[in-house]
Amino acid sequence: MRSFIKKIQNTIFQQRLFKRDAKVVLAVSGGPDSVCLLDVFAKLTPKYDLELLIAHVNYGLRGKDSDKDEKFVRRLAKKHRIKINILKVTRIKPSENELRNIRYNFFEKVRKENNFDLIAVAHNMDDQVETFLMRLIRGSGLSGLSAMKHKAGTIIRPLLGISRKEILEYLNRTNRTYRTDRTNKQNLFLRNKIRNELVPYLEKNYNPKIRQTIFDATASIADDYSFLTEYAGKLIKNQKTLSVKKLLELHPALQKRLLLKYIAAKKFNLKDIESSHIEEILKALKSTKGKRQIVIFKGLKLTRVGDRVIIITHNT
């Protein structure tokens, strides 16, 4: 048990997840991962002088089971004497993206309203592996394949380097109870199919350590992506317009990063910008049909005028 806690403490130190006196919102669903997160933070509170707050989302998708999850988390909050905020959702579209948006918007709202510093979520190594495979199947580039980070803005993931097996062993050794979501065994979403079918198949038939192998690969990809992004940022610094000639002289990997940086620098959201959009832009910039090329995508209008690139908002 001590080695488990120590491993998480090392992650907190190495990744600089938070400082002493930090105020942390804990996302607690009632499942094993979040129960482990809560238990660990409760143990670390005296050492780091933390202030904790629990946030729970009741989607109501599983009827009475969803309400039982809520009651269970309420009991945990009472046991640890931690204030709890609960969101009850109605009229929901059961898509993975929609569920994610609802909970993260709620967590951020709770953080801001209570003037807290961070939001801790219970993603673990297995989640990282599943995310990588899911994005690989969907055709993500480096950004997507680098997957989740230990810290991203106000979001921290202290359990990211811990396997689901280690978490369950810790809960069993400490006699901690948790709720089990039966829908996790049902292949309703792509993530569930990857968790229940693909990963066990790869583990059995190709590499018994596939989870660790993929997890290590995501870290390496993240480093490469970070370098390319930072270098592209230096190239574009203080440039009001983009030179087509200079852009096309760069390595293809840097061309893509530079375009994304340029779009972001114009205060545009990159969330819906896909690799296909960047490829379309590059195709237009390489065109010899004329000195003026126009690409319209995701509410943006990119115009090539001679050697210059101009991006503005575009209402269709």
Same-domain status, 43 and 158: yes
Q: Is residue 54 part of a domain?
A: yes
Domain co-membership, 48 together with 132: yes
* Same domain membership, residue 131 and residue 186: yes
| Three-class DSSP category at 40 | helix
Average the pLDDT over 294-305 and give the result.
80
Flag whether 224 is in a domain.
Answer: no
Last-in-domain residue among 213, 228, 249: 213
Task: Tell me which residue range forms the domain holding 299.
Answer: 238-313
The number of distinct structural domains making up the chain is 2
Q: Which helix (H) or strand (E) holds 26?
A: strand 23-27
- Tell me whether residue 134 is in a domain: yes
Strand partners of residue 284: none
Same domain for 266 and 299, yes or no, is: yes
Whether residue 266 has pLDDT greater than 80: no
The bridge status of strand 151-152 relative to strand 155-156 is antiparallel
Question: Tell me, what CATH number does 276's domain have?
Answer: 3.30.465.60
Residues 195, 200: Cα–Cα separation, whole Å? 7
Cα Dmax for the chain: 71
In-domain check, residue 233:
no
Q: Given 174, 197, 213, which residue is the final one in a domain?
A: 213
Same domain, 249 and 122: no
Q: How confident is the model at residue 99 (pLDDT cuts 50, 70, 90)?
A: confident
Together in a domain, 43 and 168: yes
Ramachandran area for residue 218 (φ above 0: left; ψ -120 to 50: alpha; else beta): alpha
Cβ burial of 251 (10 Å; 0-12, 13-18, 19+) is: exposed
Judgement on whether residues 55 and 135 belong to the same structural domain of the protein: yes
Tens digits of per-residue pLDDT, 225-262? 888 888 888 887 766 778 888 888 889 888 888 888 88
In this structure, what DSSP letter does residue 152 have?
A: E
Q: Are residues 73 and 171 in the same domain?
A: yes
Look at 79-83, 87-91, 215-219, 233-237 and tell me which has the smallest mean pLDDT.
233-237
pLDDT value of position 187: 66
User: Is 232 contained in some domain?
Assistant: no
Please compute the mean of the pLDDT values over residues 22-38 and round it to a whole number. Answer: 97
In a domain, 72, yes or no: yes
Higher pLDDT, 30 or 231: 30
Q: Are 184 and 115 found together in one domain?
A: yes
Give 316's pLDDT tier (boundaries 50, 70, 90).
low
Say what the pLDDT of residue 30 is. Answer: 96
Mean of the pLDDT values across residues 145-172?
94
Task: Assign 291 a pLDDT band (cuts: 50, 70, 90).
Answer: low
pLDDT at 312: 79
Does the pLDDT at position 200 exceed 90?
Answer: yes
Q: Looking at this protein, which amino acid is placed at residue 304?
A: R
pLDDT of residue 7: 95
Indicate whether 86 belongs to any domain. Answer: yes
CATH number of the domain within which 167 lies: 3.40.50.620
> Which phi and psi angles does 25 have, rounded to 5°?
-85, 125
* Same domain, yes or no: 261 and 300: yes
220, part of any domain:
no
Same-domain status, 46 and 118: yes
The secondary structure of residue 9, as a DSSP letter, is H
Looking at the DSSP bridge assignments, the partners of residue 309 are 242, 304
User: Mean pLDDT over residues 40-48, rounded?
Assistant: 96
CB 53 within 8 A of CB 82: yes
Mean pLDDT of 272-284: 80
Residues 72 and 196 in one domain: yes
**Residue 22: other Cβ atoms inside 10 A:** 17
Element of type H or E holding 58? strand 51-58
